[in-house]
Amino acid sequence: MAHLGSSLVTRAQGGPGIWQREHIALVRRALATDEVPAVASGPDGEVLAVAVCDGHLYNAGEFTARGGADGFTVAGGGSSSQAVLRAFLRRGPAAAARLDGEFAFAVWDARRGELRLGRDRLGVKPLSYFPTRSGVVFASDVATVTGHPLVSADLDATGLNALVSQLRGPGHGVLRGMREVRPGHTVCFAPDRRTEERYWGLEARPHELDRDATIARVRALLEESIGRVTDGAEAGVLLSGGLDSSVLTGLTASAGRAPRTFTVLFGDSAAAVPDRPFAEEVVRMWKCDHREIAVRPEDLLDPVTLAEVLSAKDQPTPFGDKNITPYVFSRRVAHDVPVALSGEGADALFGGLGGSIDAGRRLSSFPWTERSRRFGMPHGIGTGLFDQALLRATDIDGHLDRMFREAMDEVPHLPGGDGVDRLARQVDYLTVTRLLEQTVLHSERLSTSAGLQVRFPFTDHRLLSFLYNVPAAMKSFDGREKSLLRAVGRELVPQSVLTRAKVPYPITYDPLYKAGLVRRLRTLLEDGAAPVRPLVDLAGVRRMADDPALLDRGGWLGRADAEMVLQLDDWMRRLQVRLRL
């Protein structure tokens, strides 16, 4: 069990703390120390329950303040693990709904012989499990689960479709038999059954506030969220210069002293990051203690860093240096502050991703899939180098359609609601429940592996529940996306930030990085045993290696094709994935 705990280094750098009995073992890694699981004992010393928690509970004090007045004592564990344990001993399964924060937990109830796993409302913290004939293997890291001798890392047609499309069914992992605790759910394992319970989800409700009251309520909810996630401690802000992170900086500064802020650059070139001048304006406005962190091409090509980035993620993605840069950035920020706030999630909440919302529009697929199809990518970004005949055989189009229909069937609506608001709820729901996997959740894994606790005030479930029911016309009352957030930011950010166009997360265009991709593609072509070879169009890979200009298709879309294939090959090697197509 110790060797599996050691593999959880992707979640924390400290040594593993282990609690183990004949047929149950719980392992917890903390940031810098050996932190054993929290254990509750009765008056005669018998073990009642044991808990581990990955993440941070904002209301831990609600459960830990009462000491030993409950007829049991708790030892070990950090504040979050102890809070989870006390909550479940007092309230049983209903305790999950009382927990507030970003968390994944496991509770072993020794009295009933039951294991309960749970995950926060948005699924910011990961938690996967693999049922076996005699029990279950679970961890915050998929590679740790596959490292168990009873677990096999098999990739079938369904899993391949999920990898290619970056879409999988709720509660399902990519590997065959791998499962995930769904956001806002708990899963209970008893000797004779497995049950799943939902404790939170989006609900459709009438919105009764006018515009001014709505703006005021949004600001109040954001301020409350920032207060909770910082918990009175000083935290840095990851300041890109975009609207979201700039408003976050302004709200944090207006509540007290200006925060420490951090912006990424590529080398010493200001032109490579168009956000830089806007970030500088925000810094001047609030007199922030600011640091610019330069990421060099050699940082993005370092084999050790590439391996660390891949290890941080549960599955490969087509985003390449869009992953490597945040990892290197987070690692450097962690030298200055242990906790940093991110503006990610705001696009999903404030209508910044779904495109136009009008009466004549009908969704034919996920909004981001519709966009990729307009650019000639029918199955999504990063799919251009896969064997298209193989994808037809695995029915990738049918997979995409099933995922879309299942998601649409889940969307909560008001009876007889307005058509435009119905569409807006569809876009918001699909974005929150399916696309956050590629944004907020992805950033959490990269930053955590880099040793930085990044918290996401915009993902507060109270704010999300409120905004889900704001009418579409009010969300874009000034004719632009994210009107409500711009209104909140009027006195908090420079005018230039309020009026600027949105730009994607910066990438490097340094020729050294592209040359490194070409070298890796050629190495792949020369390796007859490369595990990804049966899945890709080798002729297409060869054309790209021979003509690096193909990497520049669509700005970075050609690169995404190469990045996806290279990451998939490395991922299959690391997990020793076997194809079962």
Q: What is the pLDDT of residues 174-189, one digit of tens each?
A: 999 999 999 999 999 9
Strands 289-295 and 260-266: parallel
Q: What is the per-residue pLDDT for 14?
A: 59
Q: What is the per-residue pLDDT for 2?
A: 45
Can you tell me the distance from the alpha carbon of 512 to that of 514, in angstroms, rounded to the nearest whole number?
6
Average pLDDT for residues 509-538, to the nearest whole number?
94
What does the block give as tokens for 131? Answer: 């049922």
Average pLDDT for residues 455-477, to the nearest whole number?
95
Average pLDDT for residues 72-92, to the nearest whole number?
89
Angle value at C-alpha 269, between 265 and 273, nearest 5 degrees: 50
Residue 16 · residue 29 · CB < 8 Å: yes
Residue 151 · residue 138 · CB < 8 Å: no
With cut-offs at 50, 70 and 90, classify the pLDDT of residue 12. low
Q: Based on the number of CB atoms within 10 Å of its own CB, is 213 exposed (0-12), middle (13-18) or buried (19 or more)?
A: exposed
Q: Residue 428 is which amino acid?
A: D
Can you tell me the distance from the alpha carbon of 26 to that of 333, in angstroms, rounded to the nearest whole number?
31
Q: Which residues contact 259 (CB under 8 A, 6 or more apart)?
A: 234, 235, 236, 237, 249, 252, 253, 288, 289, 341
What does the block give as tokens for 137? Answer: 């293997």
Which DSSP category does 261 fall into?
E
**pTM for the complete prediction?**
0.93
Select, from the ranges 307-316, 352-361, 530-539, the one with the highest average predicted confidence (pLDDT): 530-539
Q: What is the per-residue pLDDT for 271?
A: 41
Q: What is the per-residue pLDDT for 258?
A: 87
